[in-house]
Amino acid sequence: MSEKIAVVGAGLIGRAWAIVFARAGFKVAIWDAVPQALQSCQQLLRENVGDLARHGLIAESVEVVLERIKPAASLAEALKDAALVQENVKETVEVKREIFAEMDRLAAPGTILTSSTSWIPTSEFTEHLPGRERILVAHPVNPPYLVPLVELAPAPWTSKATVERARDIYTRAGQSPVLLKKEITGFLLNRIQGAVLNEALNLYENGYASSEDLDKVLKDGLGLRWSFMGPFETIDLNAPEGVLDYAKRYGHTYRDVAKTQPPNEWKAETLAAIEKERRAVLGAGALGERARWRDNRLMGLVAHKRKQPT
Ligand SMILES: NC(=O)c1ccc[n+]([C@@H]2O[C@H](COP(=O)([O-])OP(=O)(O)OC[C@H]3O[C@@H](n4cnc5c(N)ncnc54)[C@H](O)[C@@H]3O)[C@@H](O)[C@H]2O)c1
């Protein structure tokens, strides 16, 4: 019999996790504190799985995948017999503390509890819990059924066995787990994304380029390469003799430039100007439609990458 996963919170990320696990053959129980959220998630799940089917990204029919996802009437019902619980509720330390205390009370001892939190280290919401050794952050990228990275960020007291079991489950679900060796706010991906945003905001604020051109630097420049290699492999290949050769040629320039990259203060007037430029290109009412377009482009890219050698 297939293992059961519980998804707690049926918003954007909870729904996407339900698809990841159901697509890989797991049974999924999904629960939300707001009954309306649980109801509207059915239609949204159908649309998303339908899109995946059109891009050849599910091996079975839409109905077979959706059939594995069952709404639960209570948190206790969702957690019953689950191998792993993926929490996706509001992003505040208080709410995470409350829901993890409740889940630790309700879940059987062998159940792993994970959080999708984007920024909060596991230790900030698990310290006093009796079952804290079975809890860790498993941070996805939106939407996880297209972007496979999942950041496993355990607390110092999370057991090694829990981490290994979680890694095995995410791998079998088709994800690409990475492990943080110690805790840090924002984990790896959001810290790197923050560094890029910081510099883009600095360059914009100081009048070096429009927001449109700064976006182009990524989408027509760095982003193309980044979809199949990271910064270290990039510098390894961008000098004839690898990393040390690259550092000898360009290291001093990067060091000098880094001295001119202060933390950006996210000033209200800078953000308002970027918002104005964005709204001129894309009306506020069209954001949802454009997000769907983005996901469809991502599906095309994922389908392409699956056909290529790694
Ligand atoms: N949106 C992203 O791009 C993204 C990416 C990675 C991780 N995350 C993380 O995922 C989590 C969820 O984010 P989201 O974007 O899906 O938010 P969302 O607002 O779309 O969904 C949150 C859901 O949780 C429900 N909820 C709130 N409090 C609850 C509670 N106490 N018990 C049960 N359900 C409750 C809400 O009714 C809602 O349906 C957050 O921790 C967020 O940081 C978000």
CA of 275 to the centre of ligand 1 (A): 24
Shared domain check, 120 and 194? no
In a domain, 184, yes or no: no
Average of per-residue pLDDT values in the chain: 96
pLDDT at 256: 98
* End residue of a domain, out of 152, 179, 206: 179
CA of 11 to the centre of ligand 1 (A): 5
Average pLDDT (221-243) is: 97
Shared domain check, 204 and 69? no
In the predicted model, is pLDDT for residue 26 greater than 70?
A: yes
In a domain, 23, yes or no: yes
Containing domain of residue 151, as a range? Answer: 4-179
* End residue of a domain, out of 117, 147, 179: 179
Average pLDDT (190-217) is: 98
Average pLDDT (57-64) is: 95
We report the CATH number of the domain holding residue 89 as 3.40.50.720
pLDDT at 227: 93
As for ligand 1, residues whose beta carbon falls within 6 Å of it are: 8-14, 32-34, 37, 88-91, 95, 99, 116-118, 139-140, 142
149-154 sheet: strands from edge to edge: 69-71, 27-31, 4-8, 84-87, 112-115, 135-140, 149-154, 176-179
Residue whose CB lies within 8 A of the most ligand 1 atoms, among 15, 88, 103, 287, for a mutation test: 88
Q: Are 66 and 22 in contact, with CB atoms under 8 Å apart?
A: yes
Q: How confident is the model at residue 108 (pLDDT cuts 50, 70, 90)?
A: very high
Shared domain check, 197 and 151? no
Average pLDDT (69-86) is: 98
Q: How confident is the model at residue 1 (pLDDT cuts 50, 70, 90)?
A: low
* End residue of a domain, out of 179, 214, 235: 179
Q: How confident is the model at residue 228 (pLDDT cuts 50, 70, 90)?
A: very high
Average pLDDT (262-272) is: 98
CA of 245 to the centre of ligand 1 (A): 45
Average pLDDT (277-301) is: 94
Shared domain check, 157 and 86? yes
pLDDT at 306: 87
Average pLDDT (198-225) is: 97
pLDDT at 117: 98
